[in-house]
Chain A
């Protein structure tokens, strides 16, 4: 059986897979703090006996596009956007520390500061607990100050500081929970150069036009793979006709 059919088939399958990543990016075009997934094709030689002429294309995730999304002002004091590189530390479901740029922070009924998924936000000294306050403000270094309920506006108490980190991006990767984790399971150190803006959110950094162009180019690529399958079929037809004639 001609191997080119198989190669073209894997090519088509992988193109479809790359299309998944494009669809996922477009679906998240308005998700706060979302970073577009990048994918690239990698050539993987097909191992086995015979001449080394067959190369499969494999769609490979190459991490996320780390460029900054646009900053949108919301005026809500618990919305924070990270300026430039850096991450907000949260506690993932498995208890380890993970990192996010989705800064639409919330308070739960016990006054614990959480991210929008309900993961506790890590402070420089453990999770942050905010007492019932009449006013909460977040400083650029992550310091949270509150005017406790029943106190005058002059009694501002610092209640914690959001842990902001900026590890080497090559040391981190995205987990299946959508949060960034350190590759070696360690905990990133606080980085005092990372700043945040309160009352604003970082929009998704998906560039819709480039995603649409990618989508069109993948569609055409797919059609070429299918065409190649068809050509292989025609070739096989022709050779069987030759065999019949002889």
Chain B
């Protein structure tokens, strides 16, 4: 009956979602390897109450139709995989991916998850794990009595043991890439899962076949652009206010009818 109320409500919903996305981006402005999201809006279906170009007589056509829009919706949130700034940490087990690609980790249920968070650590058995304890795939185990660890730009991990001067290669970190990284499912903990829309993971050595390179002793910061998010936040807030104004205008119209008839 009163479509305006519902149309304005879709506007409020969409701006609320936009605020949720912005808040999440800002909340993760200092999360290592975090990729910011963007909400994509789309106008909803139009109610066709008169086809444009319909024949009014055999010779004449209506110049325009009667199409009533029914509001707006958030059609999706899209991760923006632009490079975050690389910050030096000096920790030899921190790696940042420069360019395309994700580090692979094995989840407890055996599935592979993907991450850009390269703050790696050593667990009790010497295996390289993420800060949540998920082992890096392919598995790399550091021997005991390690003096220093070197991770090359191509992913080669070599160690020198105490009492030895000759480094030994113990494994290679591989990266995975996707046709459509925006289609990955974010599962939190800085991890992503492969989906139908991301395509299957293509693995390879860093620096080869378009994969990014690794940079030891540094981490990739969040790619949240704080200033941009602030501007988006102001815009979302104002659009929200305008839509709530629509609701109150229609409400006033209705209350006027009730009071004056």
Chain A residues within CB distance 8 Å of chain B:
12, 16-17, 19-32, 34, 37, 60-63, 75-76, 102, 104, 106-111, 116-117, 132-134, 147-151, 170, 173-178, 183-184, 208, 211-212, 215-216, 218-219, 222-223, 226-227, 229-230, 233
Residues of B67-88 whose CB lies within 8 A of A: 67-72, 75-76, 78, 80, 82
In the complex, chain B residues whose CB is within 8 Å of the CB of A12:
257
Q: A20-B4, A178-B42, A208-B238 are in contact. Are A63 and B71 (CB under 8 A)?
A: no
Residues of B48-106 whose CB lies within 8 A of A: 48, 50, 52-53, 61, 63-72, 75-76, 78, 80, 82, 99-100
Write the nearest CB–CB distance from B201 to chain A, whole angstroms: 11
Q: A20-B3, A27-B10, A32-B41 are in contact. Are A134 and B210 (CB under 8 A)?
A: yes
In the bound assembly, the distance between CA atoms of A63 and B183 in angstroms comes to 35
Interface string of B20-50 (1 = CB under 8 A from A): 0000000000000000000011111111101
In the bound assembly, the distance between CA atoms of A102 and B238 in angstroms comes to 22
B80 touches A76 (CB 8 A): yes
Q: A106-B180, A107-B179, A178-B43 are in contact. Are A27 and B71 (CB under 8 A)?
A: yes
In the bound assembly, the distance between CA atoms of A230 and B257 in angstroms comes to 9
B82 touches A219 (CB 8 A): no
Residues of B212-253 whose CB lies within 8 A of A: 235-236, 238-239, 242-243, 245-246, 249-250, 252-253
5 CB-based A-B contacts, threshold 8 Å: A20-B4, A28-B41, A29-B239, A61-B68, A149-B177
B45 touches A111 (CB 8 A): no
For A27, give its contact among B14, B75, B182 (CB under 8 Å).
Answer: B14
Write the nearest CB–CB distance from B207 to chain A, whole angstroms: 11
In the bound assembly, the distance between CA atoms of A151 and B209 in angstroms comes to 6
A183 touches B71 (CB 8 A): no
Residue B260 at the A interface, CB < 8 A? yes
Kindly list the 8 A-B residue pairs having the minimum CB-CB distance in the complex, ordered from nearest: A27-B11, A24-B69, A134-B210, A173-B52, A150-B209, A23-B7, A109-B199, A31-B41
Write the nearest CB–CB distance from B30 to chain A, whole angstroms: 21
Chain B: CB-nearest residue to A60:
B66
Beyond contacts A111-B179, A150-B209: 17 other A-B pairs, Cβ-Cβ < 8 A, are A19-B250, A23-B246, A24-B7, A27-B7, A27-B14, A28-B71, A30-B14, A32-B40, A116-B76, A132-B199, A134-B100, A149-B202, A149-B209, A176-B47, A208-B242, A223-B260, A226-B257
